[in-house]
Amino acid sequence: MLRFLTRRSLGAAFILLIVAAVTFFLFFAVPGDPARLACGRVCPPETLAQARHNLGLDQPIFVQFVEWVFGIFAGRDYEGLGHCPAPCLGYSFVNREPVFNTIVDRLPVTLSLTIGSAIVFLIFGIGTGIIAALKQGKPLDKIASVSSLIGASVQIYFVGTLAMYFLVFQWQVIERPRYVPITEDPIGWAYGLMLPWVVLAIIFTANYTRMTRSTMVEQLGEDYVRTARAKGLSARTVVMRFALRGTLTPIVTIFGIDLAGLIGGAIITETTFSLQGIGRLSIQSVLNSDLPMLMATVLLAATAIVVLNVIVDALYAVIDPRVRLS
């Protein structure tokens, strides 16, 4: 296991380095002078030259990339802007503050949205899938299957817009989604994000219901499950201890992908519900041509995807002893 984690961690670091390099060099492929974006539209030549020097843009591109990478781990000094402590992702062109500080301010919103919705759709998705598998061919199974097909066919922006219009503005049965730090008001935190959680749960529950049902039906027909029943174990023990354990392996796979996608691709969700998270920040960075901020959000999304994939692979051996990691 240790050898596997070491190898995968080194591979993940290499992938992130490639992503960082591609993102950095695309920084210079964008039309326009980055220094002029930082200096403003009306900028005298001498001020423009000073801004380029302060941001280190007067050095060769490769040197800039090396300094940017080392700045992530050791910090970096900017003339006229001061010291950017590690992890330094550069200075924002818009607010003239370290990019990392803005990321830290916005990240709790995205994590709250992601983790809360993940808990909801895991509980309902796996629970409904287990019930449908145990009631195979019965009305409850058919209702769950039809509901899953409907849920899998809709999109976040469609369901979210309808929910906002009717529940928030038209009927006023719930307040507009907002973020309250969980450390200040746990109840207000959950209530403010309840609508986004439910909308995301409607969409993602469908996939987990279908996956859980099909895998559970397959597991219930395995020899080791039939042996457990023949030994006289209770139905609950057979399902929860034996069948469910084999069912969780593919569930963990798609959950790792979905969770990484929610963290790294929260643009639609946060825009739909007007939440100021990382996804909304990336949109604002594009509109404002704030390239250092955009580079940081891309690197964060890539890190989430890579790290969660490593964790998912490591969990295989824990969930299913038949899986051996080499």
Q: Are residues 156 and 223 in the same domain?
A: yes
- Domain match, 292 and 190 both: yes
- The verdict on 65 and 117 lying in the same domain is no
- The span from the CA of 65 to the CA of 125, in Å, is 44
Strands in the chain per DSSP E: 76-78, 82-84
Is there a single domain that holds both residue 51 and residue 145?
no
Tell me if 204 is assigned to some domain.
yes
Output the pTM of the full model.
0.85
227 with 268, same domain: the answer is yes
Q: Say whether both 57 and 153 belong to one domain.
A: no
pLDDT in the model for residue 123: 93
- Residue 22 lies inside a defined structural domain of this protein: yes
pLDDT, averaged per 10 consecutive residues of the chain (326 residues), comes to 78 88 77 69 79 79 86 85 85 84 93 92 92 90 86 84 92 92 93 91 88 91 87 86 83 84 76 89 83 86 86 75 59
38 and 186 both lie in a single domain = no
Identify the domain containing residue 42 by its residue range.
2-84
The answer on 235 and 313 residing in a single domain is yes
Q: Residues 216, 286: one domain? A: yes
Q: Residues 41, 127: one domain? A: no
Cα dist from 105 to 24, 92, 115, whole Å: 23, 14, 17
Identify whether residues 253 and 197 lie together within a single domain: yes
- CA-CA-CA-CA dihedral for 162, 163, 164, 168, to nearest 10: 130
**Is residue 92, in this structure, part of any structural domain at all?**
no
- pLDDT at residue number 224: 85
Distance separating the N- and C-terminal Cα atoms of the chain: 7
Give the chain's domain count.
2
Residue 109 domain-assigned?
Answer: yes
The answer as to whether 93 is a domain residue is no
254 in a domain, yes or no?
A: yes
